[in-house]
Structure 1
Amino acid sequence: MTPLILLPGMMCDARLFASQTEALSSERPVFVPTLSGSNTMERLATEVLKNAPERFALGGLSMGGIAAMEVLRQAPDRVAGLALLDTNPSAETEEIQARRGPQMKRARTGQLDSVMRDEMKPNYLSDGENRAAILELCMNMALELGPDVFCEQSIALRDRPDQSETLRHFNKPALVLCGREDKLCPISRHELMHKLLPRSELVIIDGAGHLPTLEKPHETTHALRRWLKEIDDER
């Protein structure tokens, strides 16, 4: 079976994909590296490739999806299939770029918890029954990663390139998935990626926001498993 690499979103770790890892690791090797140690998307992707199997299926959520697109740009022949979850292929807008500096300043002065609580976490989720527990998990992941990783990731996101052409030339199985209530990366961006990717399936998860791996884990895993079967069938 094709190995699977899953790249977590900003200020998240392997716990973001805990349900998917548990369900899929009996079928194939599953790796969830942390995106840290550099403040450019290019170097973060290079580090992922340095530790990756020679050929692999690649998925990423939010910032992890952005990093996955950069991995694909650098090594298209090594990527057997691509899954993009609640993410964005475009360069960052000037409006969002302008927020990064003040957020990083607050994080560096001991206010990472308030940045996450007041500015980021409220945009993550739908109003599902597990919202409070998922928000607590998100806060725990962020605080354990800490302000240095927050600043590295903020700069990498701020300075990232547009990856539309990267997607346009990827002619292998692709999954584009998002929560219907995602406020950060709305459905329109996923429809764009679906159009760009020649062989993609678009899946919209009802009752989920920006983190369907946690909000609707079974539905998300089902879509990933279907995508992986298509990849394995082409081996």
Structure 2
Amino acid sequence: MGDPVVFIPPMLCDARVFADQIAELSRDNPVLFAPTRGMDTIEAIAAQILSWAPQEFALAGGGMGGMVALELLRRAPKRITRVAFINVNAQADTPKTAADREPIIIAAKAGRFNDVIAERFAPERFCEDTDVTALMPLLQDMAEGIGAEAFVKQARAVQRRKDQQAVLRKIKQPALVISSDSDPDNTKRRQDFVAEMIPYAKHEVIKGAGLLPSLEQPAQLSKILRDWCRQPLVLR
């Protein structure tokens, strides 16, 4: 049996965002899911995960979940056997980016959570071939389950996160950087930069996906993660 795998989701998503990948990996690995609602710092989320996670485990984090994965690597590198980053940003927010988050945070606080959901899952954030209309019932249900109050905490956690580029350079575990070819925020250039900072990292690009490759191209991502789980731990 392979290592336990802990999945950490993007903002406003629950375990269903990784449904296909959890089903695929659970054939050979224990699989756990780490909720990120209820805390307003990346550090607090990471501390909670470490309190219940197995002594050793693999990490797969998407978006905000990748930011949490970086903090876990900073805190407890010896407990993590391998890591996969999906559309991750290892840099801290610039002052402008942090300021640009304020209107959507204010909207959530003001009772306009549907506007938040519409902005977060806007069609232009996905691949043009993705049927966003078909995905919206799931996306809406996940977001509403998280709720406006928890979203504000997630947004604050992302807004105030530390720069983790130094952590990338210290990664010795088998590392996988996964990017989408149509993500407007986490471009291939940005993901190439992340991969280049990690010794021996492999970079996989998922075609036909944007913000959420786990839902847009589930089979592609599941295969990549399955192969990653089977990779020998030669770097430890």
1:186-212 alpha-carbon deviations (Å, 9 max, x no partner): 111110111111121100011111211
Tell me the secondary structure at the aligned position of residue 177 of structure 2: strand
Worse-superposed segment, 205-214 or 90-99: 90-99
Structure 1: 5+ residue runs without aligned partners?
Answer: none
Contact residue 93 and residue 161 of structure 2 kept, 8 A: yes
Q: Write out per-residue CA displacement over residues 99-124 of structure 1, whole angstroms, 9 at most, x where no aligned residue.
A: 2222222112211111221x221243
In structure 2, do the counterparts of structure 1 residues 113 and 167 end up closer, same or farther at CA, with 3 Å as the change threshold?
same
- What does 1:52-71 correspond to in 2, within 5 Å? 52-71=53-72
Kept in 2: contact 1:2–1:231 (CA 8 A):
no
The 5-angstrom pairing of residues 1-235 of structure 1 reads: 1-117=2-118, 119-122=119-122, 123-231=124-232
The 1:66–1:43 alpha-carbon spacing in structure 2 relative to 1, beyond 3 Å, is same
Q: Is the 8 A contact 1:128 1:215 kept in 2?
A: no
| Matched residue SS, 2:176 | strand
Unaligned runs of 5+ in 2: none
1:110 partner SS: coil
Give how far 1:141 is off: 0.8
- Number of residues of Structure 1 aligned to a counterpart in Structure 2: 234
Question: Secondary structure in 1 aligned to 2:61?
Answer: strand
Question: Is the deviation greater in 52-61 or in 224-233?
Answer: 224-233
CA distance in 2, matches of 1:136, 1:199: 39
Q: Tell me by how many angstroms 1:230 deviates.
A: 1.0
Which residue identity lines up with residue 33 of structure 2 in the other structure? V
Distance 1:20 1:232 in 2: 21
Q: Matched residue of 2:173: which SS?
A: coil
Contact 1:2 1:232 in 2 (8 A): no
Cα shift at 1:143: 1.3
Which sits farther off after the overlay, 184-193 or 58-67?
184-193
Question: Aligned to 1:83, what secondary structure does the other structure show?
Answer: strand
User: What displacement does 1:231 show?
Assistant: 4.5
Change (3 A) 1:209 1:5: same
Q: Deviations over 1:44-82 (max 9, x none)?
A: 111011110000010100000011101111100001011
Structure 1 residue 93: Cα displacement: 1.9
Aligned-residue sequence identity (percent) comes to 34
Distance 1:173 1:60 in 2: 14
Query: What amino acid is aligned across from residue 121 of structure 2 in structure 1?
Result: K
Amino acid at match of 1:110: G
Contact 2:174–2:235 (Cα < 8 Å) also in 1: no
Q: Could you tell me how far 1:234 is from its partner in structure 2?
A: 7.5
Contact 1:180 1:187 in 2 (8 A): yes
User: Could you tell me which amino acid in structure 2 is paired with residue 90 of structure 1?
Assistant: Q
Return the offset for 1:133. 1.8
CA contact (8 A) 2:108 2:148 kept: yes
Structure 1 CA distance for aligned equivalents of residues 37 and 170 of structure 2: 28
Distance 1:129 1:189, change over 3 A: closer
TM-score by length of 2: 0.95
Q: Deviation of residue 232 (structure 1)?
A: 5.9
- CA distance in 2 between counterparts of 1:18 and 1:110 reads 30
Deviations 1:124-181 (A, max 9, x none): 3112243222233222211111011111001100100111110100111011001100
Match of 1:80, SS state, is strand
Whole-angstrom CA distance in 2 between matches of 1:232 and 1:27: 16
Where do 4+ consecutive residues of structure 1 move more than 3 Å?
A: 231-235
Structure 2: distance between partners of 1:25 and 1:155: 33
Q: What is the letter of the counterpart of residue 194 of structure 2?
A: M
**Within 2, Cα distance between the matches of 1:38 and 1:214?**
25
2: CA distance, partners of 1:77 / 1:129: 39
